[in-house]
Structure 1
Amino acid sequence: MIPDRIIEQGTLRAHDGRVAVEVRLPWYRALPASCISGAKLTVDGIEAPTASLRWRMNGEEFTFAEMKTNTEQWWFPTDSAVLSGDIGTDAGEHEVRVDLELYIPYIIIDDDKVLHIEEHDTKTMTARQVEEARA
């Protein structure tokens, strides 16, 4: 719905073979973590391995498997989440792509299935090398 605003410009960070980028909800209403069914993080055409992806929101970090049944944590349209994964990169300019898969639980379509949306955004930005333990 709002795919060109998924990636927050200027938020690419790199540390010890991991990258992280802040993302925004491409929907107009809050969603529980269980509705964030998947994501991909790609830098300069290299995709982070799915098993390495982590999602941070509300001060907590999750795997996508952990979020599958999590209805206590909510992603609000005004809040950024952080998507990170194992991709070694250096400082400098990079093309970043984020793909998100979301379920919209209150919109029912075809035989009691809920709406499933897939959105993506690509931006070019400069990576900041950070000293903290997690990028």
Structure 2
Amino acid sequence: MMKRSHNQQGVAIVEFTILLPFFLFLLFTILEMGRAFYTYTELEKLSRDSTRFLSSELVKGTTGLYSLTDADISLIKNLAVYGSVDGGSSSYLPGLDTSQVQVSLVGNYVKVEISYPYQPMLTVIPGYFLTDDVDLNVTLTSSYSMRVL
């Protein structure tokens, strides 16, 4: 009996060494998915709040129709990117720019759409077994529409 356990020494470390890369891959995948979900949730919040603000700020023109001015668009883009209509020095999400925000008015509905280039911590999977590297950068798009109040 003693001799049998003596033959098993070192097997656990070999098994651990084989399974460690899979466990690390699973751990980093879960962390990255959580980070991506958090970023998308923040993007949704920014587009929703910007749309809500715009829908309450638009006023009817003399013709009885709503109109969207360049000043309104600028305010909403600042609100979506910096979290303030006055603008700011740092964006709410890293790398978010006012050029990535689209504002439109169709009939009595306003729409704010934000396209955010999400960059994961590991941006490329090297192509060890493939011919090309796999690019992991994606564009997260959040769009929110609301009737003008």
Larger radius of gyration: 2
**Structure showing greater relative contact order (alpha-carbon pairs closer than 8 Å, 6 or more residues apart):** 1
Q: Which of the pair is proportionally richer in helix?
A: 2
The TM-score with structure 1 as length reference comes to 0.36
Q: TM-score scaled by structure 2?
A: 0.33
